[in-house]
Structure 1
């Protein structure tokens, strides 16, 4: 076969790639449980994004299948023998909530200083379209392949992966033989820690000079809460002065607050930190744990705020909580206190802790430690759990992808094991591959999420050659 200049082929399609990507980024595909119907299993936004993605594939001549709006796919190489191996590519159309703090509308994509700003730009619509165009190049050049390709897009990756559970149960096809997900970073992610959310159920006294009526914080379990809100009453003398002193005492966290007094004398306090991906909680500032710490200091006496503001605050590795664990190969456990709910009229108040755990421990061992915490009544677990996943370096899938990465970048490839969970782990021989490069700024799950245009194009060229090498 004549040598293909993949970078030149991508450059020739730059405008089309950006236009197609923008058509996806303009869709608010956050999960919305308030609008769930049989036709919109995770709300209308994820469905709209999935349908738009499949419409692009239909436009380009692929055979598509929408599996009841949970997930869908398109296929390439349908003329190959029935027993040909299948390369799976897994992406997702859903996004985490945009939250606050954006310099522009998160669903009106903009290019500023060479970067595409929008929710989903880097997680995962941008990488998805880079990979889509990688395959599109091979199709348009009519490059002969010996393996079939199934490009699968889900709609619930950021929550419970109910999309993939439903897809595999109803698609009527066997799993692909091997594959990758363009939803992480280069050079490769061939290992992923286990992922489980455990819920602390807390009751107990709510006394003290300041009474806590309610406390909420966090949008998703896999996001560091950007802010939290508490409604309080009682001895609130000099409240704003105390808040200013608290913010000043933690100046390195760049906290900010606002208050509002209701007619009944109750005061609503909102404290803002900084969001981040739940797999890397140390990169954010948890507004909920800092608000709980403040409430403890001004007179709230509650097991809820005591746990949140004393034990969980800055406890990213689970040291104070008592669940810390480290494996020589997969690294240390991480913990994100993601969603907080307290109501003084409720006997069941909860804090959701999202764990990324290595081999050597498990969710049951974590539960046994958590339930022994003072103030915790019971601990429950999310219905969906991912156990640790690893594909050896010797596997041809891993070695091939690293070879392509090294050829295109001139950089040495190496294995990586992360706390984040990707669709790469759906297959026994599955990995995550790109699209973020070493040294890139990671803005996933944060305000002002972006992907540089040049990164998008570089990734597309790598994906084109990678798909060719895996399926030739």
Structure 2
């Protein structure tokens, strides 16, 4: 590394290892799944408490802090005058529900073989702490900054991103922003998103008494159960499904799969799909119930959308993905949510038409929402600054990439996602991915990411924005 600032950056990161681990542990300890809105807590008490904790940590680091009515907060290196251009990072303090399959308390950070385990260590509380320490370096170094730096801390990324909508409506946007909420090296494009529910008609006098599964629309569920009005000895369990006696002669079927992020479904096993296959294998259900189950079976049959006629690949992004995230039954109506990430050569209208054809009269679509694909040219100056910094620090020769995940970047006029995940780092058996059980992050890679972020923010000072 030839940059004369590197020795100071490296020393700062190494000296703060224990402090960084301490503060990640403090932030992860605050459960922050979206909840019921309250005064000053528009996304519930948990996200507000996590925001308060992050700002408390930032103040301890000597940074200026601000809380924007509980929607979003930030720390910054110093005053930002009206109309002044500034740089920003943005991470989020909210998390997806803990789900099932954890080996220990999800909100107590554990360290095992160099990995941090806990809900949010990688998505996105660990990276949030890194940004605060990057700003601490910039402030403590005394370097005069052409562009002040603000570390934004969101509270609603995992569901609707209304936090950043609020920010955009009330505050000037940064000249350039990166979000450490994805993979390295630099993601300069994100697929579009298409979400909704496949809803059954009211199933009168049904055999399926209850069907529940999943913890979030944007996560592949690893557990689900259904209760059916059939005796246990009349059911043959299929792969991944177990049975137990329920009340009044009913049977409870449980599916055990493997969870993961909706944008990266390869290697996951959807527990809802296991139950649907089992029910159809045993011919369980009225005619209307089985017709609805056959629609769900097509949804779950292939995560590339080919089974429901929406497969798409534009050569710019990875191919389309679609998963069923949650299922619930109430008053005889079953609702299966889906999460689709799509490239540029299709659109929600085409996909809606295809899904409606699959549904026929057995089901219908409700609560459809969408967002368009997002892309910024890889040769733009700020992006080149980030990719060059990453390659110099790591010794790699990577290029920007596009992905299926959706981040805050699409909400800003000039922004990308920038680490700290590494797709080439194998996740050990005791750890899990973002949104999964035993969510893990390699601590050495987090420390390396801090160094990359500091150097990148310094080099961005020389870019005309």
* TM-score, L = length of structure 2: 0.92
Encode CA deviations 1:16-54: one digit per residue, 9 max, x unaligned: 11111111011111123xx43233322211111101111
Tell me, what secondary structure is at the counterpart of 2:434? coil
After superposition, the Cα gap between the structure-2 partners of 1:438 and 1:226, relative to the gap in structure 1 and judged at 3 Å, is: closer
Which residue in 1 is equivalent to 2:161? 161
Q: Tell me, in whole angstroms, the C-alpha distance in 1 between the residues paired with 2:95 and 2:426.
A: 19
Which residue in 2 is equivalent to 1:118? 118
Which residue in 2 is equivalent to 1:129? 129
Encode CA deviations 1:97-155: one digit per residue, 9 max, x unaligned: 11111112111111111111101011111112122212211211112210022211111
Which residue in 2 is equivalent to 1:250? none
Which residue in 1 is equivalent to 2:259? 275
Which residue in 1 is equivalent to 2:430? none
> Which of 358, 374, 378 is the matching residue for 2:364?
378
Tell me, what secondary structure is at the counterpart of 1:460? helix
After superposition, the Cα gap between the structure-2 partners of 1:10 and 1:285, relative to the gap in structure 1 and judged at 3 Å, is: same
Q: Is the 8 A contact 2:76 2:135 kept in 1?
A: no
2:95 counterpart of 1:95: yes
> Which of 427, 442, 448 is the matching residue for 1:452?
442
Which structure 2 residue ranges, 5 or more long, are not aligned?
428-432
After superposition, the Cα gap between the structure-2 partners of 1:275 and 1:435, relative to the gap in structure 1 and judged at 3 Å, is: same
Q: Tell me, in whole angstroms, the C-alpha distance in 2 between the residues paired with 1:3 and 1:73.
A: 26
Which residue in 1 is equivalent to 2:184? 186
2:322 counterpart of 1:335: yes
> Which of 397, 403, 407 is the matching residue for 2:388?
403
Shift of 1:256: 5.3
Shift of 1:224: 0.3
Which residue in 2 is equivalent to 1:25? 28
Tell me, what secondary structure is at the counterpart of 2:150? strand
Which has the higher mean CA deviation after the structures are superposed, 113-122 or 434-443? 434-443
Q: Is the 8 A contact 1:191 1:416 kept in 2?
A: yes
Q: Tell me, in whole angstroms, the C-alpha distance in 2 between the residues paired with 1:20 and 1:205.
A: 51
Which residue in 2 is equivalent to 1:3? 5
After TM superposition, what 4+ stretches of structure 1 lie above 4 angstroms from structure 2?
Answer: 204-208
Which residue in 2 is equivalent to 1:322? 309
2:284 counterpart of 1:300: yes
Which structure 1 residue ranges, 5 or more long, are not aligned?
248-254
Q: Tell me, in whole angstroms, the C-alpha distance in 2 between the residues paired with 1:325 and 1:154.
A: 32
Q: Tell me, in whole angstroms, the C-alpha distance in 1 between the residues paired with 2:216 and 2:204.
A: 26
> Which of 225, 232, 237 is the matching residue for 1:229?
225
Q: Tell me, in whole angstroms, the C-alpha distance in 1 between the residues paired with 2:295 and 2:363.
A: 12
Which has the higher mean CA deviation after the structures are superposed, 366-375 or 427-436? 366-375
Which residue in 1 is equivalent to 2:212? 216
Tell me, what secondary structure is at the counterpart of 1:269? strand
Tell me, what secondary structure is at the counterpart of 1:356? strand
Q: Is the 8 A contact 1:279 1:419 kept in 2?
A: yes
Q: Is the 8 A contact 2:305 2:321 kept in 1?
A: yes
Which residue in 1 is equivalent to 2:18? 15
Which residue in 1 is equivalent to 2:372? 387
Which has the higher mean CA deviation after the structures are superposed, 366-375 or 404-413? 366-375
2:425 counterpart of 1:440: yes
Q: Is the 8 A contact 1:200 1:380 kept in 2?
A: yes
Shift of 1:2: 5.2
Which has the higher mean CA deviation after the structures are superposed, 114-123 or 434-443? 434-443
Tell me, what secondary structure is at the counterpart of 2:261? coil
Encode CA deviations 1:363-388: one digit per residue, 9 max, x unaligned: 122111111113454323445x3211
Which residue in 2 is equivalent to 1:138? 138
* TM-score, L = length of structure 1: 0.90
Name the count of aligned residue pairs.
Answer: 449
Shift of 1:205: 5.7
After superposition, the Cα gap between the structure-2 partners of 1:317 and 1:2, relative to the gap in structure 1 and judged at 3 Å, is: closer
After superposition, the Cα gap between the structure-2 partners of 1:292 and 1:256, relative to the gap in structure 1 and judged at 3 Å, is: closer
